[in-house]
Amino acid sequence: MTYHFSGILNFEKQVIKRFLQSKKEKSRQDLIQDLSVYLNQARESLQKQHISHHQLSLKSQAAFITLQGIHDLYHDLYQSRTSRYVAIFRLVRQEVENFPKFSNYPLIIRISASSRLSHSIGIRAKMIRYQISLSSLVLPDEYFSVLTKILFCRLSKKPVQNSWKVKLTDYENRFNRLHEKSVPQKPVKLNSRGEHYQLLQIFNKLNNLYFQNTLEVPHIGWSRQNNKYRLGSFHANQQKMLISRILDHPDVPQFVVEGIVYHEMLHMIHPIQSHNGRRIIHSRNFKNDERKFIHHVKLERWLKEDYPVLIGNKPQRSKFKDLF
């Protein structure tokens, strides 16, 4: 059972907003005072309902850690009791010292609910907004110091050392491998038979034509909804391939359905890579393989010109660039 704690999400937004707007030390102190009161109320309310921290939704957990972290920071920064948030904050602060342009800017770290490794950085109102994902908190200090170096080099347009890139990629790949294994295997029930096209038959045909029958048949099926902007997806951890039901339509030519399935099959042999902190989903090799599909050019043209008409939109909108 997962509990959403919407109050805490709203409060987190408020805190970050007030933090970004507050220029004086006094108003920041007031903010921390309010935060203290709110956190106590929130904890009491959870206790009353016998809900532990771990039963909260990822979003609520992330918000909780962010608020708790900001609070701890201003109460205990130089004391021995430290949360992971405070430890990471110190580390980032230390790294920022090496970038004089930003070293005097106040810093706020926000934990996002993502279960992937994700991060972003932004400067707003002469404040550094640094966002990292909940799942990254398990990584060692070195990860955060390397990440911070790279992000601030990029911000200040300085060259990024190769050794940092290598380290970061190494952490990310290790994390992704571990993470993929830890996802619980849910039983997947999918229907590959449509009214017009049979996905399993198409998969087998393509497997024979392009992959020498080396691909193991995944769970493959039509999506429940007519998804317009996501025509196909492949989920490696569940070995699940979904094709949007919108393509099971008499006006959609067979080569289109085949082309989308072929694209998703390529995801089976080109796993997602990490490079300098960016996820590469469609690598250069992936795109080279994509062009081996016999109707590649025709497919591209159909997606650009005919597909928008099918779903009642004007052709050539930028939305149609990235459909699968």
**Under the rule (CB under 5 A), what is the footprint of Zn ion?**
324
Smallest gap from residue 182 Cβ to Zn ion (A): 24
What residue number has its CB nearest to Zn ion?
324
What residues contact residue 123 under an 8 Å CB cut-off, 6+ apart? 102, 105, 129, 155
Smallest gap from residue 123 Cβ to Zn ion (A): 32
Return the number of the residue (281 or 309) whose C-beta is nearest Zn ion: 281
Return the number of the residue (153 or 268) whose C-beta is nearest Zn ion: 268
Return the number of the residue (99 or 293) whose C-beta is nearest Zn ion: 293
Smallest gap from residue 48 Cβ to Zn ion (A): 47
Q: Quote the longest CA-to-CA distance of the chain.
A: 70
Return the number of the residue (149 or 263) whose C-beta is nearest Zn ion: 263
Nearest to 39 by CA among 13, 16, 7, 17: 7
CA geometry: angle at 321 spanning 319 and 323, to 5°?
85
Smallest gap from residue 290 Cβ to Zn ion (A): 9
CA geometry: angle at 321 spanning 316 and 324, to 5°?
135
End-to-end CA distance of the chain: 32
Smallest gap from residue 324 Cβ to Zn ion (A): 5
Contact 14, 66 (CB under 8 A): no
Return the number of the residue (143 or 324) whose C-beta is nearest Zn ion: 324
Smallest gap from residue 264 Cβ to Zn ion (A): 7
Return the number of the residue (293 or 324) whose C-beta is nearest Zn ion: 324
Smallest gap from residue 263 Cβ to Zn ion (A): 6
* CA–CA distance, 294 with 208 (Å, rounded to integer): 14
SS3 label, residue 290: helix
What residues contact residue 87 under an 8 Å CB cut-off, 6+ apart? 141
* CA–CA distance, 302 with 313 (Å, rounded to integer): 14
For the sheet with 240-243, list strands across it: 219-222, 240-243, 232-235
* CA–CA distance, 324 with 320 (Å, rounded to integer): 10
Length of the chain: 324
Return the number of the residue (22 or 238) whose C-beta is nearest Zn ion: 238
